[in-house]
Amino acid sequence: MRTIDWVNGAVEIIDQTALPGEERVLRLHTVGELIAAIQSLAVRGAPALGVAGAFGVALAARIHVDDPVALAVAVRKVETARPTAVNLARGAQRAAALIPHGPEAVLAEACAVRDSEIAASAAMAQLGADLVAQLCGARPRLLTHCNTGGLAAVTVGTALGVVGELHHRGRLAGVIASETRPLLQGARLTSWELTRWGIEHRIAVDSAGPFLMARGEVDAVILGADRICANGDVINKIGTYSHALGAKRAGIPFIVVAPESTVDLGTPSGAHVEIEDRGAAEITAWGEAVNPAFDITPADLVTAIVTDRRVIRVDRGQTP
């Protein structure tokens, strides 16, 4: 099942805000509709956002085929719909490079972005499962954070794709999925995907993760990323940093799984990344709140980064 795709002239997505209660497909015909879906998190996850960005430009190229000024404005709006995940702007820019060749060329490139993410997920599942087996031995107990399955990556997934591959090999003892604030993406989305795959799992509140590691209930932490900086700093859903600290203290691997499209060599470190704030309304209806959507995990807390092409052993001094 593809969780985002181009179907008969429109972008179709599984509405992630409706899960797990309802499996609802949205058809997005305009750039405005696509941007609203991105900003509401109806479509989310770095690889999926890259595809959404490319398809957004494909929509814009068709709608504004005779108005280059309006087209440029629409492309810019797609690129900047969310600031933290590098894939969104990259996907949009990759499709936009074909604008001089016409709308069909733009669409073909957008579909190529989609296909490259599908292939990357399959490759990461194999590389990541091999690494986990090497570091943890037979049947590890894994903790994951946020949602990194097919919902986040068109099909298969990043970190959750590795979990699925270990399950397929009969090499998985179980999974703890942190609930993940904001919007409970672990409790809602990861649990939904793991249930569909028949994988035993438990939900834990975000703050329980380090304690469960300290108590010896977790053999490795495995999660995704929205941006990996040139020095190895990892930008991912808020709560990742505390899990990295817990893993370091417990002496267990902390493994990041993300495609090469998420590696941003143009950003030196996490200090140079704009961290999106989701606003107070998502967590409280009264008073003041701070609601950062992502955090920065320093490279020295990361054991390894797995992409679709390589394993980067950050603990051995390697950098992206």
DSSP secondary structure, 124-186, as one string: HHHHHHHHHHHHH-SS-EEEE-S--BHHHHSSSBSHHHHHHHHHHTT---EEEEE--TTTTHI
Q: Establish how many alpha carbons lie within 13 A of residue 54's alpha carbon, considering only the half-sphere containing its beta carbon.
A: 31
Residues 181, 185, 189: CA angle, nearest 5 degrees: 165
**What's the CA gap between 44 and 50, in Å, rounded?**
9
Out of 226, 233, 264, 295, the active site residue is 226
Q: Where are the alpha helices (DSSP H) in the chain?
A: 31-39, 46-63, 68-79, 86-96, 103-136, 150-153, 159-168, 185, 191-197, 209-214, 240-250
Tracing tokens 């249930």 back to the chain, one arrives at 195
Residue 226 a catalytic site member:
yes
Query: Which residue, among 133, 164, 124, 136, has the nearest Cα to 256 in the 3D structure?
Result: 124
Sign of the torsion angle spanned by Cα atoms 168, 184, 46, 242: negative
Residues 168, 174, 185: CA angle, nearest 5 degrees: 95
156 in Cβ contact with 125 (< 8 Å) = yes
Q: Which residues are the active-site residues?
A: 226
